[in-house]
Structure 1
Amino acid sequence: MENTILVTGSSGLIGSEVSSFFCERNYKVYGIDNNMREVFFGKKGSTKVNLKRLEKKFQNFSNYNIDIRDRKSIDDLVKSLKPKVIVHTAAQPSHDKASEIPFLDFEVNALGTLNLLEAVRKYCKDTPFIHLSTNKVYGDTPNKMELKELATRWEYRDYLFKRGIDEKCSIDQSTHSLFGVSKVSSDLLVQEYGRYFQIPTCCLRGGCLTGPSHSGVQLHGFLNYLIRCNLLSKEYTIFGYKGKQVRDNIHSYDVANFIYLFSKDPKISAVYNIGGGYENSISILEAISKIEEISGLKMNFKYSDQSRIGDHICYYSNLDKIKSDFPKWNISKSLDDIFFDVYQGLMNK
């Protein structure tokens, strides 16, 4: 196997999907994952099941129990492997949790990314480096767009209606949450190493990334956690905006497929919004109705007037740029597909 790929956060939602995707295409996949998600969210956030599944299914997958904050270990590993592709998904991913652990959040998200980029600069400058960023780099700027209130959702008015937020949206002068700030830092580092050192880098500013391998918890993984609460008859809390806040959802498979296409046709310092777009957008109220219809179970939920600081009222991705640069890529998993896959995945656990 001449093709090698290094995947950080290889047992997480996107990391495990990317690992599987490339393993099936006969790459030698090296993972980095030390199950920090369990540190962030407790046992319910653990990714051990995904790691065991990957190790059992693929002989061409192996994992390193390394902390990306450990500069020497990262440096030594990249130097020895010199992988043909690097996909960086490891992160502290929670908007809310970051305020409780600001140093850990910043060290994992920003410093960990810097450690990887510097190793790439020294040992494999031609290796495409694909970073899972977030739409939270835009802070609450999307909330300043003109909105209209419908029966079950908030919606953009005028030009943004059905088009969504594009990459020209400002990341400045807005409230991000501390998580958003640490991810902005990593996003800008990835861009700068691309431009300054001419390294093929890519920032993927994701909407709601989801799939059956997601270890959803209250503080991260909206759709997976909502469906889990429905199946377990566990109380779900809606935070503000009348439950009409909107997100676009993209299946982890479609993210992995784009990463594969980018690795074959890399660009310098690319930035793309990636999500389900308008067609895969849904509000919390609409999501509750949909899972009740699928499962036949009534949702047990309560409402809190306290919205999350810096949270988006309405967000779905404008996919024009990513589709223009990569016309072979498109959303293959509809919202119904996503709900069914997550539902089936939870039922089988």
Structure 2
Amino acid sequence: MLDFYKGKRVFVTGHTGFKGSWLTKILVMAGAEVYGYSLMPGVNEDIYAEGFKEPSDNENLYDISKVDGSIHSCIGDIRDFEKLRDFFDKAQPEIVFHLAAQPIVRDSYKSPRYTYETNVMGTVNICECVRASSTVRSFLNVTTDKVYQNNEWEWGYREDEKLDGYDPYSNSKSCSELVTHSYINSFFRDKKIAVSTARAGNVIGGGDFARDRIVPDCVRAARSGEKIILRNPDSTRPFQHVLEALSAYLLIGKAQYEDYGKAGYYNVGPNESDAVTAMKIASLFANNWNENIRNCEAESALSGLKPLGIDIHSDGGPHEANYLKLDCSKIKTKLKWAPKWDIDMAIKKTVEWTVLYLEGKGSEAMEQQIEEYFG
């Protein structure tokens, strides 16, 4: 599949974020000509609005990935239409992946207006760029599994279920879907631009430094020698490794480029058995991490670190859905996509990447895992 992207002009919004950095690294390794538009590395996965400080921790996957010199990168806000349009017009892309977003549920309660401006008007802005383009053939808007009205069902949501996210983040992504639907009906269908949305589950993997996410919280606890604190141990989510989601995005981008009829709305998630609780995730991480500590050599970056434990402590935070699953039959049937790494492997690869990163080999670890997954 990656051979398809060799020589293709690809535009990625949010390229300095967690998923964006992995996607950009893959595209560079595939030989694509990549144009990335995003906020400063380390900023776009935190609140970037008046009244909120930029993150003080300068760890970010984009810098770690060492792709900056291999792509055309523009640092800008997705809300700044003029700057976005100028860079987009210079890029003249064939394929567009829209990942730029304010992606944290808790931050959306702190700054709902910024969340809607970024996630809704940001989508309008990139749609306007695509609408005016004479080169784009394939456009994918990456949203979330949280776009659905969550009834706490025990079965997975399908693509034709009602869209109505509860919190400002989830609701803004529902709105982003509706914006995309409108542009398809009003403009893109007539121009034969193939457009899809991808509703992905919770992604995990090496290099996620965001706040209020279970796996980054596990990593921070492990590195600091503290216990993992779980707010909602029974919350069930369709967790998947970041390369799983990105493989689906890349497949959608390719499939609809080659066949307009493949465009549509796709759930992207793990097999049903891998929709697990936060406690399961934390336990798997702790077990993998502690095994690495037990087997580490004296000069290892892990030497001297304490075994990792788990503690449960609800902080009385804002509402978050407790139960969420996806039915991914459509993408499996229509595009022949299927997950490769189960939740055990996803956690193992996350810990593996973290250990190598602590040894100063983060970029090499990305390349190794990309080659292993797509090889």
TM-score w.r.t. the length of structure 2 is 0.78
Contact 1:26 1:60 (8 Å CA) reproduced: no
Unmatched runs of 5 consecutive residues or more in structure 1: 146-155
State the shift of 1:24 in Å. Answer: 1.6
**Partner in structure 2 of residue 301 of structure 1:** 311
- Is contact 2:25-2:67 (8 Å) kept? no
* Selected match of 1:277 from 267, 271, 274: 271
Describe the SS at the equivalent of 2:127: helix
Give 1:326's aligned residue: 335
In 2: Cα distance, 1:340 partner to 1:278 partner: 19
Amino acid at match of 1:112: G
RMSD: 2.3
**Partner of 2:30: helix, strand, or coil?**
coil
Q: Structure 2, unaligned stretches of length 5 or more?
A: 1-5, 48-52, 291-306, 359-375
Distance 2:127 2:218 in 1: 35
SS of residue paired to 2:66: helix
Aligned pair partner of 1:120 in 130, 142, 146:
130
2:65 corresponds to 1:53: yes
Q: 1:15-30 counterparts in 2 under 5 A? A: 15-30=20-35
SS state at 2:312 partner: strand
Judge which range, 93-102 or 264-273, deviates more. Answer: 264-273
Confirm whether residue 233 of structure 1 aligns to residue 225 of structure 2.
Answer: yes
Aligned residue number for residue 165 of structure 1: 157
d(CA) in 1 for partners of 2:234, 2:46: 31
Work out whether residues 204 and 271 of structure 1, in 8 Å CA contact, stay in contact via their aligned partners in 2: yes
CA 1:47 to 1:230, structure 2 compared with 1: closer, same or farther past 3 Å?
A: closer
Shift of 1:251: 1.5
Tell me the residue number matched to 1:151: none
CA drift of 1:277 comes to 3.0
Q: Is the 8 A contact 1:191 1:201 kept in 2?
A: no
- Asked if structure 1 preserves the Cα contact closer than 8 Å seen for 2:21 and 2:65, the reply is no
Q: Deviations over 1:145-195 (max 9, x none)?
A: 2xxxxxxxxxx2xxx3xxx222232224xx610111211111111122123
Structure 2 vs 1, CA of residues 45 and 283 (structure 1 numbering), >3 Å: closer, same or farther?
farther
Matched, 1:260 2:270: no
Q: Is the 8 A contact 2:108 2:168 kept in 1?
A: yes
Output the CA distance in 1 between the equivalents of 2:172 and 2:75: 23
Aligned to 2:321: 312
Identity %: 20
Superposed CA deviations along residues 270-295 of structure 1, whole A, max 9, x for unmatched, are 11111113132221222232223212
Q: 1:114 to 1:45 in 2, by over 3 A?
A: farther
Alignment length (residue pairs):
321
Cα distance in 1 for partners of 2:242, 2:29 equals 15
Q: Secondary structure at the match of 1:108?
A: helix
Q: CA deviation at 1:86?
A: 0.7
2:349 & 2:176 partners in 1: Cα distance? 31
Query: Separation in 1 of the partners of 2:8 and 2:283?
Result: 45
After TM superposition, the structure 1 = structure 2 runs for residues 83-162 of structure 1, keeping only pairs within 5 Å, are: 83-124=93-134, 126-141=136-151, 143=152, 145=153, 156=154, 160=155
Matched, 1:82 2:92: yes
Q: What is the match of residue 176 of structure 1?
A: 166
1:87 is displaced (CA, Å) by 0.5
